[in-house]
Structure formats: structure tokens, C-alpha cells
Amino acid sequence: MQGKKQHQERLFNSFQLSEYVPAENFYRQLKSVLDLQFMYKATRSYYGSEGQQSIDPTVFFKLILVGYLENLNSDRKIIAHAKMRLDIYRLRFR
């Protein structure tokens, strides 16, 4: 009798991105020592109170820092590069 696998999507997937980034990774170590909380107060005067919500200033700074460290010279290259690297993705959004 021929068998056929019935694919059933799991309702809940347990996935921790941090489990897949090694402890000795450069960006993980950088994240542990880089405190950018001061940026919210420093950049508050540059943001308006109306319109759409903008990108988080710390996320923007981290992306520019990745561009510098990875020698990427355009915003599109930075975003494309960051999408493909779990360690950079973790730096950006966590």
C-alpha cells in the first residue's frame, strides 16, 4: 500500500533566534556592550508629533554602523545584507 504524507502546519512554532547565533559572534558581543538609550533623548527634537511613526533612531544607527563595519555603501545594500544574516538581524531588532 502506498503511503502519502499529510502535511499539517503546526499551530505554534517554538523558535528562538538567539539560539542560532553563537555566543562568540561579533555582533552579539557588540550588542552586549552598546547602549544606545541616550539616542531617544538626543534625537527627540528632530521628530515631529504628527504623521506616520518613523524608524526607531537606535535601529537606524545600528544599520548605519553595520554599513560601516561591513563596508556597504548604500542603504539598499545594507538592508539586503542584513536580511541574509541572522546575527545582524538580531542586532537590529532585539
pLDDT of residue 65: 92
For the chain, give the DSSP string: ----------S-----GGGGS-TT-HHHHHHHH---THHHHHHGGGS-SSSS----HHHHHHHHHHHHHTT--SHHHHHHHHHT-HHHHHHHH-
Question: For 40-72, how does the pLDDT look when each residue is reduced to its tens digit (9 = 90+)?
Answer: 899 988 888 888 888 888 888 988 999 999 999
User: What pTM did the predictor assign?
Assistant: 0.72
Question: For 76-94, how does the pLDDT look when each residue is reduced to its tens digit (9 = 90+)?
Answer: 999 899 888 878 876 655 4
